[in-house]
Each structure stands twice: as C-alpha cells, then as structure tokens.
Chains A and B, each alone.
Chain A
C-alpha cells in the first residue's frame, strides 16, 4: 500500500507538471497581454514611450526573462536569485536569465527603405537583478501571481478565495440534493423494475440529463422570473447572489437586499437546475448497481432463509450496491471548482466558473490558468481518493 501510494504520488506530480506546462504554453501563445497596448501607443508616434518604460513594464510582468526561466519561476518560484550552497556558487549572480532591452539593428536596403530588426541584447537581466523583484512562490505552492485585468494587481488567490464559497455552496447543495433524491429513486426503480414508477422515473431523469443546463437555466428564468413577474405572481429574482436594492415580491412582501431571504430566493433556481441535471446520473447508477446485486446468490439465500424483504433490500443488497458509489463521490471533487461555468453564467452567479468566463472575456489568462490548474489537481486527487476508498469499502480489492 505504501509503495503504491508513493508511486501514485510520483505519477501525480509528473502529470501536474505536464499539465502546468501545457497551461503555460497556452498562456505564452495567448496574445494580448499588458504590452500590446504600449506597443500600439508607441507605434502611433504621438506618445513617446521610452525603451526604459518598456523594460520596466516587462520586468513587472517578467516578460524580460527567457521562457524556461519564466516557466520555472511561475511553476515553483525558482530561481529567485543567486544560489549558494556552502560557499559553492551553484548559480553565480551574473548568470544571464533574460534580456531587458533587445538590441536593434538598422537594416538599410538598397532601395532606401530602413527596417529596424531586433537582434541580440543590449541589456541583459542577471540573477542578481531577480533578487529585488517580487518573487512568486510558484503555482505548485499555491501562489498564482497577480491578476492583470479582472482585479488589477490583486493576488489571484484572493480573487479565487472570494469566489470559492459561492461555487462550493452551489455545487455542494445541488450535489447533496441530487444524491438525496437520486439514490432513493434508483433503489426503488431497481426493486420495482419495469413497474410504472420505474418507467416514469427513468424517463424523467433521462430527459433531465439530456437537456443542456444552458437551456434549462434560460427556461427557468423565463418561466419563474420573467413570465411570473409579468403575470403578477410571486417570482424568483434572477441574476447574482444578492440584490443591490430592496424589492417587493407579491404574496411574500418586501425583500431586503442581501438578507437571508434574498439570498435564498436567488439560490433556488441555479441549485434546482443543477440538481435536476445531476439526479439522473446518480439514480441510473444506483439502479444498475442494485439490479446487479439483487441477482446475486446471497440475496437469494437471504430471501430463502426468510429474511424480511425490507431487510434484504437495505442490509444485503443496498450495502453492496453502494460500494461503487463512493468512487463516484470522488469524481464530484473537480466539478466543485469550475464544473458549473455555464449555469453560473446563465444565473450570473459569482462563482469560480463565472470567474473563468469573465477572465477569458477580458483576456486575463493568468486567472484562467490558475482555475484550470486547480481543477486538474483536484481531478488527480479525486482519482487517488476513489482508488483508496475502493480498498476501504471493498476488502476484495487490494492496491499493488
């Protein structure tokens, strides 16, 4: 088991670094960025932006460093300066790690036109220069750097933390509800296989899982917010997690902005849509698993020796049917972060998924990468947890 865990952790680190590399190369390829605007200003010729200004800004966003150095600094905060181990200069202070001002070569063509080409380096960046800079601890250690657009120069981790509770609430409650509703439906459908209840529930949950959350969300707003309000009926407010100013709802009365009631009313629709969408997954899974177990010999034995049907179902069948269930639970983990980007966008819910969409809309790719990275790590942790849980709940399975 220990050997297995060590091997798995090792694999996880490799995959994490790989996905970080993938993310970073996307980040590198992504256009826009803080310098684009400056270059455009310089090109118009009206504002003089000196080489020094550009160098200073480049240094601020670390754009003057060579790509591998930038990557390792982003990943693990290394190198943050000269490295000395016991008097031995492993990385001497004058190691070149980047180029602050590129050298320029004037090319004069025979036809008289002049082209300025960047070639070589006029002023280099050395490790000694890095010491004075704000050093990120690296995303592997939870430091995602600064946001560039969404919240200027605020640490991304702050931004994520301010959004996380909303997503956790939304996903947590809807997952819990989906399980609480879906599992009993699944059990009952399996026990009464091919009954009217089974057919009805299978169809309803099938439709629920077939409909895109986008469609369900928009329809929910249309029916419960727009049409209900137009008809003078009590309606559910849509958009955001809380209101800006007080409002009145027929039959309920005045709702104070930001009060518990206000938050609850705004919570209902997104949670219901996600729940309805997810019920099918759980109920279908439990139904299949129960049907499998109910065919087993030990269930027949239990019935043969006269155990009450209720006990057969709950004690003998259900317990065994739920074994694979725990592994599904671990699969929920990554969806807690950015799993509901669409639902959150439809309902303007200020969670992580919405943050991702906002960040992409404003080309703030560092924020987007942070979210991608966190969800990838959560997927890996989810896999690991589910594998370990398997051995805990089912002693027949050993990890080697």
Chain B
C-alpha cells in the first residue's frame, strides 16, 4: 500500500491529466481565479497573524497607559521610547496588539460558528432529505419557522439577553476551556464569546440544512445510490459513503460564505454593544470605540475597518472562485 501511495505523485507528474483526483482538478480550476487566489493569500496572512498573536504582539493586550492615549500610527511612546506601529486607543492600549488579538476572536468565532452550523445543518439536512416522511416533515417545519423569524432583530435580542447575563450563565468547562484556548482569552472572558457563538449558530444552521436537503433529494434518486442499496448497503453506509460525498461540493461554497456571514454578524453585534464586551477585543467592538473617536482621530476606524473589509471581500471572492471551480459546466 505504501509503495502505491508514494508512486502516485510521480505518475501524476508524468501524465498530469489521468490520475488526478477530483480535488486536484478543483484546485487547478480555482487557481485560475486570480482575485480568489489573492484573497486566499490575504486570509492566510491574517489568519497566521491571529494564531501567532500571543507571540508576535509587542505589548500585553490590556496594557493601559493614560499618558499615551490616542497616539497616531508609527508614533513613539514618549515615556519609554517604544514604537506603536498602529498607534494607541483611547486607553493607551497598543492598537497593533489589540487588532491581532481581535482577529483571533473575530475569526475564531466565525470559524466555530460555521463549523457548528455546518455539522448540525448538514446532519439535519441529510436526515430530512434521505429518510423523508415524518423526519423530513418535522425538520422542514422547524426550518420554515426559523427562516420566518427576521435574522437581525432576533440575533440582537438573543445576544443582548445572553450577554447582559453572561455572569449568571454557567457553561460547562468542556465548552469554556476550548473556547478560551481558541480565542486566546482568559477563561472568565470566554463565557460571553461562547454564548455569542451559540446564539449565532442557533439561527445559522437553516441555510445549510436546506441546501443539504435539496442536494440529497437530487442525489437520492441517482442510480449509483440504487446500486449501493441493492448491494445490501446499510443506511449509514449509503449515507456516509455515497450520498454525503456527492451532496458535498455546494456545501463548501456555502461554508465559505457562511464564514463571511458569521464574521459580519459578530462584528455588527459587537459594534452595537451586544456582543463581546470591551477588555476582550474583537474587530466589532474596536470599531465601536473607533467610530466615537473618529472626528478627532480619523485614522482610528481604519485600523479595525481594513481587516473587516479585507476578510469580508476575501471570503466572498473565495466563495465565488470555489463556485466556479466546482461547477463542471463552467468553462474556465
């Protein structure tokens, strides 16, 4: 077995068109979308910065200094001669440090929301589409109901109720621990982040579930499913080995766009003050503070604003590129 796997890349080099897997083809097609590739590069940079935040941050995250507030970018702290690359905020905290820690929180919130949504949504969609009958009926009615409730108001209401009582709500440590680790925040700050993730995920799964259900309904009628069944395949085997992989591609696009939606929602909610609260930085609450100081310090909103802008655009371009790459009818 080991020899065959090591032989494949060599064979692929010699005869590139023959032994390529589906994903190699998709990536080759994706590479043609220049903006998407550029976006991927930008995202990788921002993601790495956020992951390396504890190591590359030049200052402690909450290092308040009232004698160095609102310094413009590239200014030097008069007291100790240290350089603040992006300046300091209204409490004298280093902007560069906070913006990369905020990237950690904002991006990881988006990622965990999308993961949760993808798992729950595709599982429910898979069940509804594959089994039909009352399973489908129940899941579909719930989906219709959740889809009826307007997103933004319910999101704001839920998160404001949750966040204002974050102290009263006790989450189990197996949620708090990983969340605190992922977001690089202390445990006591992790509750609000975890709550926000739960709120965002509780409404977001419907889109994925609908998509999955629709795809499964199509795939279910295919002949290869019939043959898999006639070979005596169990439900789990047919679902996992045949239905899911074939219904999967459109999900990747939805996943990328879902990352964007989650990011934008988190930013908006935190901006309005119902999300992650101040000492924990996110791009949203940084934007909130920056806008109230922008009339005297016009560069401030750019500091959290540009990463939001870049990520949002990048997710959309990558989603677009993936859509084209995954569509077999599309000629590139």
Contact = CB atoms under 8 A, between A and B. Distances in A.
Interface of A: 15, 18-19, 22, 26, 29-32, 206-207, 209-212, 214-215, 218-219, 221-222, 226-227, 230, 334, 337-339, 341-342, 345-346, 353, 356-357, 360-361, 363, 365, 368-369, 371-372, 375-376, 379-380, 383
A99 B20 CA distance: 74
Nearest to B263: A212
A247 to B, nearest CB: 14
Contacts, number: 119
A341 B152 contact: yes
The DSSP consensus for interface residues of chain B is helix
Contacts of B312: 210-212, 215
Interface of B: 145, 148-150, 152-154, 156-158, 160-161, 164-165, 168, 260, 264, 267-268, 271-274, 287, 290-291, 294-295, 298, 301-302, 305, 308-309, 312-313, 315-317, 320
Contacts of A339: 150, 152
A380 B148 contact: yes
Contacts of B271: 214, 342, 345
Given A210-B316, A226-B298, A341-B153, 16 more contacts: A15-B148, A19-B148, A26-B157, A26-B158, A31-B165, A31-B168, A210-B312, A210-B315, A214-B264, A214-B271, A221-B294, A226-B295, A341-B272, A365-B161, A376-B148, A383-B148
Contacts of A226: 294-295, 298
B152 A218 contact: no
A210 B313 contact: yes
A interface, over-half SS: helix
Contacts of B150: 334, 337-339, 372, 375-376, 379
Contacts of A26: 157-158, 161
Nearest to B316: A210
Contacts of A31: 161, 164-165, 168
Contact of B149 (A22, A29, A209): A22
A18 B145 CA distance: 9
Contacts of B154: 372
A341 B168 CA distance: 28
Contacts of A360: 156-157, 160, 274
B153 A215 contact: no
A215 B272 CA distance: 13
B268 A338 contact: no
Nearest to A230: B298
B161 A214 contact: no
B122 to A, nearest CB: 24
Contacts of B273: 361
A30 to B, nearest CB: 5
A363 B153 contact: no
Contact of B291 (A32, A346, A361): A346
Contacts of B315: 210
A341 B181 CA distance: 33
B153 A375 contact: yes
A15 B146 CA distance: 10
A63 to B, nearest CB: 18
A338 B157 contact: no
- What 9 pairs across the A-B complex have the smallest Cβ distances? A210-B316, A360-B160, A375-B150, A212-B264, A372-B153, A218-B301, A226-B298, A338-B153, A30-B161
A300 to B, nearest CB: 21
